[in-house]
């Protein structure tokens, strides 16, 4: 498969995820069960996210320089604040997870665990994004990206 074919494939996948998101949302809107309705909606939002990610895959193959573009100081400062925001969300959810009032409430605990998983990932992701643009480029571009992204998906909070 040529690179051009791969780009076309990513674009088709983006479309498929958008279409699927609509069908999930439709099912959610008909649902009467709050847990089912909410989680269907959540999966639908993830599907829209996947469409965006497929579009990014297509774009970075079309124009690789987009990925190494320098970032402004203003954006980096904002990312630092977002990292702190994710950290406080994690602390808040950790407290809720142990709340006596929610003890034995399996659906509530399921939603809290789900958010905790997301927030841990967001925190790690934002930290890596930030580091990847502020770390001095003493390593080769390839080494740097490998180092920064290798464990991003599996480790909640690298280095705190
Ligand atoms: Fe998906
Ligand atoms: Fe978050």
Residue 13 has pLDDT above 90, yes or no: yes
Q: Which two tokens stand for residue 73?
A: 């100081």
Give the per-residue pLDDT at 68.
80
| Cα 32 to middle of ligand 2, angstroms | 28
Give the per-residue pLDDT at 57.
97
- pLDDT 10s digits, 85-128: 999 999 999 999 999 999 999 999 999 999 999 999 999 999 98
Give the Cα-Cα-Cα angle 51, 52, 56 (nearest 5 degrees): 115
Structure confidence at residue 156 as a pLDDT band (50, 70, 90): low
- On whether both 75 and 64 belong to a single domain, the answer is no
User: What is the span of the domain harbouring residue 137?
Assistant: 70-160
- On whether both 64 and 5 belong to a single domain, the answer is yes
- On whether both 64 and 127 belong to a single domain, the answer is no
| Cα 124 to middle of ligand 2, angstroms | 10
Give the per-residue pLDDT at 70.
82
- On whether both 5 and 84 belong to a single domain, the answer is no
- pLDDT 10s digits, 126-153: 998 888 877 655 556 677 677 777 767 7
Residue 159 has pLDDT above 60, yes or no: no
The pTM score is 0.84
Using the 3D structure, point to which of 17, 43, 69 is the last residue of a domain.
Answer: 69
| Cα 19 to middle of ligand 1, angstroms | 11
| Structural contact between residues 55 and 14, judged by C-beta atoms closer than 8 angstroms | yes
Give the per-residue pLDDT at 138.
54
Give the per-residue pLDDT at 146.
76
Using the 3D structure, point to which of 51, 69, 87 is the last residue of a domain.
Answer: 69
Q: What SS3 state is found at 15?
A: helix
Ligand closest to CA 18: 1
- On whether both 98 and 157 belong to a single domain, the answer is yes
- On whether both 91 and 132 belong to a single domain, the answer is yes
Using the 3D structure, point to which of 24, 45, 69 is the last residue of a domain.
Answer: 69
Give the per-residue pLDDT at 35.
97
């Amino acid at each position: 498969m040529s690179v051009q074919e791969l780009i076309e494939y990513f674009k088709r996948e983006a479309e498929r995820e958008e279409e699927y998101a609509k069908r999930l949302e439709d099912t959610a809107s008909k649902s009467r069960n709050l847990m089912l309705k909410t989680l269907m909606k959540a999966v639908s939002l993830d599907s829209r996210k996947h469409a965006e990610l497929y579009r990014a895959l297509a774009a970075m193959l079309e124009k690789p320089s987009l990925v190494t573009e320098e970032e402004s100081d203003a954006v980096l400062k904002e990312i630092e604040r977002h990292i702190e925001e994710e950290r406080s969300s994690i602390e808040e959810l950790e407290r809720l997870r142990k709340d006596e009032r929610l003890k034995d409430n399996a659906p509530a605990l399921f939603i809290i665990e789900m958010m905790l998983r997301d927030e841990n990932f967001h925190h790690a992701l934002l930290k890596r994004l930030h580091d990847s643009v502020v770390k001095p480029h003493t390593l080769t571009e390839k080494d740097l990206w490998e180092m920064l992204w290798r464990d991003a998906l599996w480790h909640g909070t690298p280095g705190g």
